[in-house]
Amino acid sequence: MARKKVSVIGAGNVGATVAQEIAQRELADVVLTDIIEGFPQGKALDLFQTAPIDGYDSRLSGTNNLEDIAGSDLVVITAGFPRKPGMDRMDLLKKNLEIVGGVVDQIVSHAPDAMILVVTNPLDVMTYLAFKKSGFGKKRVFGQAGVLDTARFSAFIAMELGCSVKDIRAMVLGGHGDSMVPLRGHASVSGIPVSDLIPKDRLDAMIERTRKGGGEIVSLLKRGSAYYAPGAATAAMVGSILNDERRILPTCCFLEGEYGLERVYAGVPAILGAGGVEKVVEVTLSDEERDALHKSADHVKKGMEEIDQLLG
């Protein structure tokens, strides 16, 4: 049986790490694209020369020609203007509108049957742009945010308790930014609520650190932003879809009534399978969490309105 095909648009740190994670897990063959001549070819060659060492058979190729994404089962968009220290995610909107919009046009032309997984920031708004420009159904256009944000929250819990990350279950909803909503009521370690294990003030501090997680790494690196965890998070979503695992993962989805939200992209639990976003899962939220989710969605809606205005 032929291996699935995933195209990764953008061969920078995030895109290359996504390609590496997909190949190492043998989820699909990978086409890595970029506008810089020779750059994706070099990255892909380096990654495939790792295959005999790590023992994977996924094939990787690099190209500057987006026609080579033809036949893709899924296209991951990582291309965009990088976030810089002090830059709000929404500041990226105008810079990345042209980049992502152009990529989506190429997907429609060359891979009309593919699903689109957006990683470019500002994540929620760029996912809406891909949805609007592609004309693909909402099940086929979604964004990666919550898996990464949940991983950060889980890592902070493990650091605080000195326990294994394997026993932690957590969930972060909402927009991918300072308005995200880590769910304290749904976080546990081996079934024990974290509120029983961590004092409220410490848990509050960890939630705030999760919200600022990307900015913290940008500040520490001085140049560039996170890519190891974003790459792994993206590959987890790709695996659930291509292998039809039907995992429930926090995903940036287009909502039409779920959680009381209408026609907005926001991070919520969703079943990811062969059909893409197969079902949005509604969990019980506290009044505080529900209010925070709605405020986060309102923040995204402002960016969506700007997209509508810019596109006419």
294 part of the active site: no
DSSP class of 254: E
Would you call 309 exposed, middle or buried from its count of C-beta atoms within 10 A (0-12, 13-18, 19+)?
Answer: exposed
Distances from the Cα of 199 to the Cα of 173, 182, 184, 202, 287, angstroms? 22, 16, 12, 5, 21
Closest CA to 19 of 37, 45, 52, 55: 45
Cβ atoms of 210 and 152 closer than 8 Å: yes
* Distance between CA atoms of residues 4 and 88, nearest Å: 36
Please tell me whether residue 101 adopts helix, strand or coil conformation.
Answer: helix
> Residue type for 175, please?
G
**Residues β-bridged to residue 182:** 172
* Distance between CA atoms of residues 281 and 267, nearest Å: 11
User: Choosing from 110, 176, 186, 299, which is the catalytic residue?
Assistant: 176
Question: Which residues are catalytic, by number?
Answer: 176
